[in-house]
């Protein structure tokens, strides 16, 4: 059984510096190491290593989805507009619905990692209909004065590297909890707050300039065993609540 499949667009693994590993390759490596540290064993993470812009969709990938516990979708403008990536996402989503559901307790088995923000929700095929119901791990920040997007990347200096590693650690912590729950580690239903040893804390959303501080608080709460809400996007329409 595979633990994680990483779904991504090939252009997001192209390095800006010749000879350097691409963003996806570095992300895969760093996440694998951190999960090994948290889990005490080697996680089984896979992705399509042959992926290129001219490849035909590989049916072998679909056959593996039934033996894969989680999917990480690395979101970018190219990802949501890629027919291939949309198909991967939808096929895995359908596989989950056919085999017990997309959620483990209150956690989704599809994890949204936002490498580059995507404007609006009127493009990107069917990916948005799935992503809109998921909270994501944002690997970028927006300059409050200029509106410029700065991606977290180990190549972009000390601060960007620190932010990148902190976000990978947050993601690894989340994944470890989901995998333990799937293994029956708690012995109790995950969807009942009363079964948790900590408190249930509602952590309000903030503007982009305060997100690092909010992330730090959320990280500390989770490490202390508390449940942090919301754990999914809040409905904008009262009828959806």
* pLDDT(181) > 80: yes
Q: What is the average per-residue pLDDT within 171-187?
A: 86
Percent with pLDDT over 70 in the chain: 83
Say what the pLDDT of residue 238 is. Answer: 45
Residue 33 pLDDT class (50, 70, 90 cuts): very high
Q: First vs last Cα of the chain: how many Å apart? A: 36
**Angle at 31 (CA atoms; ends 233, 96), nearest 5 degrees:** 50
Note the pTM of the prediction, 2 decimals.
0.79
Say what the pLDDT of residue 197 is. Answer: 65
* pLDDT(129) > 80: yes
The mean pLDDT value of the chain amounts to 83
* pLDDT(88) > 60: yes
Phi, psi torsion values for 141, nearest 5 degrees: -140, 160
Q: What is the average per-residue pLDDT within 67-73?
A: 96
Say what the pLDDT of residue 58 is. Answer: 66
Say what the pLDDT of residue 180 is. Answer: 94
* pLDDT(191) > 60: no
The DSSP code sequence of the chain is -EEEEEE--GGGG--SSTTSPPHHHHHHHHHHHHHHHHHSS---EE--TT--TTPPP-HHHHHHHTTEEEEEEEE-HHHHT-HHHHHHHHHHHHHHHTTT-SEETTEESEEEEESS----SSSSTTHHHHHTTS-EEE-EEE-TTT--EEE--GGG-HHHHHHHHHHHHHHHHHHHHHHHHHTT-SSS-TT-GGGSSS-EEE-----GGGHHHHHHHHHHHHHTT-EEE--SPPPSSGGG-
Say what the pLDDT of residue 29 is. Answer: 97
Say what the pLDDT of residue 190 is. Answer: 40
Q: Which of 5-19, 134-148, 152-166, 183-197 has the lowest average pLDDT?
A: 183-197
Q: Where are the domains of the chain?
A: 2-190
The CATH class that applies to domain 2-190 reads: alpha beta
* pLDDT(151) > 70: yes
Q: What is the average per-residue pLDDT within 201-226?
A: 77
Pairing of strands 136-138, 68-75: unpaired
């Amino acid at each position: 059984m595979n633990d994680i499949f990483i779904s991504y667009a090939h252009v997001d693994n192209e390095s800006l510096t010749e000879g350097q590993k691409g963003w996806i390759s570095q992300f895969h490596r760093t996440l694998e190491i951190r999960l090994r540290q948290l889990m005490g064993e080697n996680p089984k993470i896979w992705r399509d290593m042959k992926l290129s812009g001219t490849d035909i969709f590989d049916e072998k990938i679909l056959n593996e989805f039934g033996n894969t516990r989680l999917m990480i979708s690395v979101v970018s403008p190219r990802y949501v507009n890629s027919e291939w990536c949309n198909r991967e996402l939808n096929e895995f989503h359908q596989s989950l619905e056919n085999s017990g559901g997309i959620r483990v307790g209150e956690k989704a088995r599809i994890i949204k990692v936002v490498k580059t923000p995507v404007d609006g929700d009127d493009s990107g095929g069917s990916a948005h209909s799935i992503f809109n119901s998921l909270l994501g791990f944002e690997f970028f920040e927006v300059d409050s004065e200029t509106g410029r997007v700065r991606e977290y990347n180990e190549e972009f200096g000390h601060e960007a590297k620190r932010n990148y590693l902190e976000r990978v650690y947050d993601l690894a912590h989340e994944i470890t909890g989901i995998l333990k729950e799937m293994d029956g580690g708690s012995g109790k239903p995950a969807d009942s707050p009363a079964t948790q040893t900590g408190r249930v804390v509602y952590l309000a959303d903030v503007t982009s300039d305060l997100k690092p501080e909010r992330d730090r608080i959320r990280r500390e709460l989770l490490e202390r065993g508390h449940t942090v809400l919301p754990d999914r996007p809040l409905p904008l329409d009262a009828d959806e609540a």
